[in-house]
Every structure is written in structure tokens, then in C-alpha cells.
Amino acid sequence: MSSSATTTGRFPQDFLFGSATAAYQVEGAWNEDGKGESIWDRMLHEHPDYVRDRQNGDVSANSYHLYKDDVKALKELGAHFYRFSIAWTRIMPTGEAHKINQPGIDYYNNLINELLANGIQPMVTMYHWDLPQWLQDLGGWTNPIMVDYFEDYARFLFERYGDRVKWWFTFNEPSVFAAGYATERQMAPSLNKPGVGDYLASHHVLIAHARAYHLYDKHYRPTQQGKVSIALMSNWYEPRSDSTEDIAASDRAMQFSIGLYAHPIFSSAGDYPAIVRELVDKNSKAEGRPRSRLPVFSKDMIEYIKGTSDFYSLNYYTCRLVSPGITKHDPALRPDAEVSSHADPSWPTTASEWIKVVPWGLRKAINWVHKQYNGPTIVITENGVPDNGKLEDLSRISYYRVHLAEVLKSIHEDGCNVKGFTTWSLLDNFEWNSGYTEKFGLYFVDYSDPARTRKAKASVQFLKQIIRTRELPEETQKP
């Protein structure tokens, strides 16, 4: 790669940098101060074997007690914002709005105030996978009543925190957590209803998202003046060759993994992507079902969902090569999509089995979103890689160097409207089914120490300099 300043320019003055975490992954204090039980608490208490190291989020990085240390870390990094999530069960132990838990409400007030006192903007994800178990017992996201419960919760958050929180994400990665209704042993609630439970959950999540958006738009935006979005897993699916078949397979993979959620919200036509509708309807019919496994939106609902996001929130980690085929093993690309996918063996590997270093995939994903959805403002809401536990995280530095270079190209060479970049994650934390074996943090957390001390890894200095100068350092300055 040649000099970044000459080939790719600088990050614009209004470009924002920040870092992210999620409640279940960092907070701990799973049953303290009146917090209720979530579907992740329940699943992992009953099934420690679902996690590689048999651990869970009971204590984790203990951010519930150590949030001031987290804010210090963000300050040291020079972050403009902190993207964190609220645990629904900390505020409403059962998920019901008439039973609130004051210590939980205070916790997020304290965190928000501490951030603002340090000049850091809070960006809040309302739902990062930890549904109250009480609501799951009603069927969770497969039950349409969830739309009402989610609206109650969203209203409460806007009321209590909206005077200070100006960036909201309703949901994080519905494509990933909806898989909890399709497969066992991975995402909570671990229901084995592939091709039915996941579409049903996604359908209600989209309606719930739109409800929260309209609520904000109508009642809170006029005074609070914030923005509302939804964070979508937006990995890139590259055609294996330039054959028409492989290109069509790549499009199907993108439409089933991203379009399923983005098309109803961001496209000018609204509704599910035509190819998704066509294939799921066709397969449902062939299976002899009386109706499609993919629920249908009414005309009014299509209009209601369309346009319900103020910007596109893009999570990117990696890329896959795709060609036509059937795979029963990849829940993100259901057999309905008729694609098979794999990683190119030449792509650099990482401490995570599924993350290969494919930075140009980020540029392609950004451009795909730009073209499909009429050039929306894009914020990269997650990007990151795990390390093997060393403070000298050179592999993370190199991962960010190459990915940030692609962001610059997408801005300066492709004219995409990218306005922010978020590192996943601020801290080493509980990485779902991989437990604490995959360390995504810019900050090392000592899990053998009850005090859970945090220490900056080398990447903090690297990113700090980029945030300060708005430029990628020359590659020769590698530490």
C-alpha cells in the first residue's frame, strides 16, 4: 500500500470515531440490584456447553461497577462517541413497562452523564440480543405482541435518556439474533425452527423497529433532535468468479443477509427484496405449505416501514466467496438463498475461525449499500478482530490500517457518504459462543483478577493518533 495521505486523503472534519460494547458482553452483575433474567442468562446457565470455554456473562468485564474505568479508556483513546447497549432487564426486569427498576435506570444515567462530562457522545443500542426471559416465555420475537412491548421500552428510553442521547439504534444485527429462532446451541433462545422461526422473528423485529422510529419522529424528535437507526451485519459476499451464475449467487447472498432487513427500510420500493420473496414463496409451495414461510407485509405496513432510519449503520468483519448451491450449515445464508459460500484459503487468518482479513470487502459492502439504497449516510458501527491475548496487538493494528484505508477510498474515490467508524470492541469481553477465548478489545481485561483491571493494547496509541490527525500513518511507521 502506498502513502495513505496521497492516495486516500484524510478523514473529513465531521467524521466521528468511537468504540463499542454490548450489555451482556461487558456489564456482568447479571442479577444485581433488581436486574431480571434475560434469554442469554437462562440459556447459558442451563447449557454451559454451548460456549467454548463454558463461561458466561455473569461477571464479565464488570462494567456495571467499573463504567468509570471504561469512560477513562475512551477518553484516553480520544473517542468522539461510545456505542453501548442497554440491558432491557436492568430497566424492566420482566420486560413490562409498569415494573421498572430504579437502580438499573440510575446505572445508565450515570454512564451517560460520565460520558458527557468527558466530552464523549453516547450512542445507544436498545436491543443487543438480551431479551427478557419473561417475554421469551410468551414466544419472544415470534409473537407479534413483542412490537407493543418494544415500543413501551423505546418510549421509556426516549423519555428518560433522550434529553442527552442523540444517537439511537433500535436493534443490533437482526440477521444474527434471528438465527436464535432457527438453530440450536448458538444464539439465544436456541430454538430449532429453521426457515420459519427466523423469518417470523425478523418480520416482527422490522415492525418493532418502525414503531420505535415513528414514535421518536412524532413525539421526541421535535424537541430532542436526535437520530434513529438499526445496526445491520453487512459482510460482503464476493462472487467466486465473474460468471453470471456466481454474480447472481452473490446478489442472492447479499439480499438474504442484508436486503431482508435493509430493503424494507432503505429502498425506495420498500418490502422484502423481490428475490427473497420469490425464492421463499417457491420453496414453501414446493414443501406443500398453505402459505409462505416468509410473512407478508400489508401495503400499509410496507409504507409504514419504508424510510424509518436516519442513516445506515454498517457492521463489517469479513467476506465470503459465493457460488450457486445449497448449504444447510450456514444460518446466515439459508438454503432458500441457494448459495454455497467459503473463505478463500489465501486470505489472512485471524484468532477467530470465521474472520479472514478482507479489507476490500468493506469497500465493496459500503458501495453496495450506497448504490442499492440511494446513497444514504453510512456509519460503520462495528469493525474489529480478536487477538491472542498479547498487549502488542500488531495484528489488530494492521487490520485497522487496511480497513480504514478502504473507508478512505470509499469516501474520496467512490463518493460514498461515510460519516463514522466504530471499533469493536473497547474491551476484551464475552464473545458469545466463543466465551472469553476471542479477545476483541483495544483494552486488555485481566480475567484472572477479580478487579478486572484494564490495560491499553498497542492499538490504542495507533488509533488515538489517527483520531487526532485524521490521517492514516505511513506504513513504514509500523511499531
Rg (Cα) of the chain, in Å, rounded? 21
Closest approach, Cβ 418 to ligand NOJ, in A, equals 19
Q: Cβ closer to ligand NOJ: 173 or 336?
A: 173
Of 101, 315, 395, 423, which lies in the binding site for ligand NOJ, with binding defined by CB under 6 A? Answer: 315
173 binds ligand NOJ (CB under 6 A): yes
Q: Considering only CA atoms, which of 184, 214, 436 is closest in space to residue 306?
A: 214
Sign of CA dihedral 315, 209, 199, 250: negative
Q: Considering only CA atoms, which of 109, 122, 21 is closest in space to residue 80?
A: 122
Residue carrying the nine cell digits 492499538: 459
Closest approach, Cβ 438 to ligand NOJ, in A, equals 7
Of 424, 436, 444, 462, which lies in the binding site for ligand NOJ, with binding defined by CB under 6 A? Answer: 424
Closest approach, Cβ 40 to ligand NOJ, in A, equals 11
Binding mask 425-464 for ligand NOJ (x = CB under 6 A): ------x--------x------------------------
Q: What residues are annotated to the active site?
A: 173, 382
Q: Cβ closer to ligand NOJ: 278 or 354?
A: 354
**Binding-residue total with ligand NOJ (CB under 6 A):** 9
172 binds ligand NOJ (CB under 6 A): yes
Q: Considering only CA atoms, which of 151, 310, 125 is closest in space to residue 227?
A: 310
- What are the cell numbers at 162? 433522550
Q: Cβ closer to ligand NOJ: 424 or 436?
A: 424
Half-sphere exposure for 431 (CA within 13 Å, toward CB): 22
Half-sphere exposure for 342 (CA within 13 Å, toward CB): 9
41 binds ligand NOJ (CB under 6 A): no
Closest approach, Cβ 173 to ligand NOJ, in A, equals 5
Query: How far is the C-alpha of 432 from the C-alpha of 411, rounded, in Å?
Result: 33
Q: What is the DSSP string of 183-201?
A: -SSSSTT----TTTHHHHH
Closest approach, Cβ 25 to ligand NOJ, in A, equals 6
Query: How far is the C-alpha of 459 from the C-alpha of 105, rounded, in Å?
Result: 33
382 binds ligand NOJ (CB under 6 A): yes
Contacts of 328 (CB under 8 A, 6+ apart): 335
Strands 16-20 and 81-85, how do they pair?
A: parallel
Closest approach, Cβ 232 to ligand NOJ, in A, equals 10
261 binds ligand NOJ (CB under 6 A): no
At position 229, the amino acid (one-letter code) is S
Q: Which residues bind ligand NOJ (CB under 6 A)?
A: 22, 25, 172-173, 315, 382, 424, 431, 440
